[in-house]
Structure 1
Amino acid sequence: MPHQKTSLPCAVSAAAASAAPPIPSALGGSPDRTGLAILLMCATSLIFAGQDAFSRILGSEYPPLLIVMIRYWVFGVFVIAMVSRQPGGLRRAIRTRRPKTQILRGALLVIETTIMIEAFVRLGLVGTHAIFTAYPLLVAALSGPILGERVGWRRWTAIGVGFAGILIILQPGSTALNPGALLAFAAALMFAVYGLLTRHVARDDPAQVSFFWTGIAGAVTGTILGIWHWEWLAPTDWIWLGILCALGTLSHYLLIRAYELAEASALQPFAYTQLVWVSVIGVLVFGEVLHMNVVIGAVIVVGAGLFTLWRARVKAA
């Protein structure tokens, strides 16, 4: 959705997308089988990368809000089907102690996913994801003002190093700044806020409830924003969109299974493999150029992000 905030880099999401909507681990009760869970996480990251490729193709031909709206219709059906199988079913899932925050989460994720697709079109898959990997650093930086958590000097240092990596990627002043870079950073910021709000509602609502509201509030928001952009897709593009929705359903199922088998903190680092898959697809399929400054900056950002995740795990322990 990553990516713990009980979420992964989507991304989500559509996120997004790629930032696919985060999947809470409490939806299952299987014993810990970390090895299998890691394999599932890596497979999910590969599928997410494929989703991003289809999103870029469709987003270059149609309004991103239209694509996101249809994807969330499918995701909403998937959410209803999943929570109906859980104890208490839909009647339990709809009861939340924080309805306004839950609705805000769903709406925020829809907007973040839309922005992410627009960034794919303007900046490309590689550049967008290189910047988007900063979201764990943003989670750490914003956890104080939003959740009242204490961020120690080690994590602040990692955050500073990570943002230095972002500057290496962007190279401000050397060339005109691509608007897609700003969109990618905005998407990372929104995904970080979404993740912190997820942790906030988790204090009162179980994972089943948050999962339900992510899908339903997202589908409603996507419809309100996207229905004004409605147009019929070309026959071939309906096939691409169908594949995109099928991949989204499969990725969410695998994500659920991964979280049923292992702790989220053990899986989150492997969500970064999506950056590798995205880079391969971007270069081979879309002819994107893997510039050295992007590679160096991404390595720095990912390293800083992994350190903040590790520090958070140590602090929790």
Structure 2
Amino acid sequence: MMARLRISEGFAAPAWIIASSLLFAVAWTFIKLAGQDIHPFEVVFWRCLIGSAILMPFVIAGKVRMPLSRLGGHAMRATSGIIAMFATFYALANAPIATVQAITFAAPVFATFGAFLFLGEKVRFRRMAALAVGFAGVLYVLQPGAEPLTPGILAAIVATIATAFTTIAIKRLVGFDHPNTVVAWSFVLPILPALIVSLFVWSWPQPLTWVYLLLTGAFTLGGQTAMVRAFSLADATAIMPYDFVRFGFIVGIGVLVFGDVLRPEVLIGGGIILASAIYLAYREAQLSRRGPASTPRVT
């Protein structure tokens, strides 16, 4: 019974991050669709406002708490988060969705080293190997030098760096606050700065775009909740490699929804990425059988 419990615990964090990957992949679809009608910066504002509106009933009912004790930390996380959102949403509107995802896959590499440097997390060789293999697959898909350095591509690079800092901030915050608290502040705090920026490019959405915006708010809220829950259960270095699974979801959406041409490099690189994630899942399950997780839980 104990062995079975530990196996389930070993897969809990990967399950949350994979769920987050699926939710974010769907959210990216609606972000890109909405960005075809209104400016991407305005999409950021509506994403935060709608997500906060969904959260408020839970806050009022006391299901989600928003204490002010670590507001400074949440503000720092929101700062890197809004930079990542502005850059990501702009990239999605101005570059192929699979290319944006491939570039942003570098975030786990930066986050892994950041977690090692700033959080003191232990980085096992096999974790680093899984990250390296997954990133090699991403580079194979991207084919460096083949893609022009457009504003959309540059925005994706900025998003990658900002996302890495956001990942580190989330991991630090969930050591003290409940995951739902971290998610709530990440939606509420960016509303005002996002509104100020979006006013310079403002236009009212078309009726169908409102549907895209509502779904963007809902799916990003679900994705954030699942991601933060994963960070509360395990080290960032243990769970970030599973985020490569999002690539498969994104490629499928690019082909089915946006008519992207599926290049052989995408299939081969995607297979490399998936293989690294599967191996890491097997390795972490082995470790969970040997003893309980050493990372603190947030309850």
Of residues 203, 206, 226, the one that matches 2:178 is 206
Task: Give a deviation string over 1:179-230, Cα, whole Å, max 9, x none.
Answer: 5344334323322221111111233333343233212112233223323322
CA 1:166–1:48: 2 relative to 1, 3 Å: closer
SS in 2 for 1:286: coil
User: Given the alignment, which residue of 147, 155, 165 partners 1:193?
Assistant: 165
Work out the number of aligned pairs and report it: 279
**Do the aligned partners of residues 310 and 81 (structure 1) sit closer, same or farther apart at CA in structure 2, a change above 3 Å counting?**
farther
- Tell me which amino acid in the other structure corresponds to 2:69: T
Please provide the CA RMSD for this pair. 4.0
Note the C-alpha offset of 1:132. Answer: 2.7
Residue 45 of structure 2 is aligned to residue 72 of structure 1:
no
Counterpart of 1:63 in structure 2: which amino acid?
Answer: H
Instruction: Indicate if the aligned counterparts of 1:136 and 1:305 stay in contact, CA closer than 8 A.
Output: no
Provide structure 1 residue ranges, at least 5 long, that are not aligned to the other structure.
Answer: 1-31
TM-score scaled to structure 1, two decimals? Answer: 0.70
Bigger shift: residues 109-118 or 204-213: 204-213
- Which string of whole-angstrom CA distances, capped at 9 and with x for unpartnered residues, describes residues 85-105 of structure 1? 336x65xx22223x2221121
Q: Which residue of 1 aligns with 2:209?
A: 237
Match of 1:124 among 91, 96, 105: 96
Change (3 A) 1:176 1:269: closer
* Counterpart secondary structure, 1:136: helix
1:87-138 CA deviation, whole Å, 9 max, x = no partner?
6x65xx22223x2221121222222122212222232222222333343333
Give the 4+ runs in structure 1 shifted more than 6 A: 32-44, 264-270, 308-313
User: Residue 102 of structure 1 contacts residue 210 of structure 1 at CA under 8 Å; is this kept in 2?
Assistant: yes
> 2:190 aligns to what SS in structure 1?
helix
Task: Tell me whether 307-316 or 102-111 shows the greater mean CA deviation.
Answer: 307-316
Question: Which among 72, 75, 80 is matched to residue 103 of structure 1?
Answer: 75
List runs of 5+ in structure 2 lacking aligned partners. 1-7, 295-299
One-letter code aligned to 2:62: Q
Q: Which of these residues, 276, 283, 295, is aligned with residue 248 of structure 2?
A: 276
Matched ranges for 1:1-317 at <5 A: 45-86=21-62, 90=65, 93-97=66-70, 99-174=71-146, 176-248=148-220, 251=222, 255=226, 273-304=245-276, 314=287, 316-317=293-294
User: One-letter code of the match for 2:37?
Assistant: E
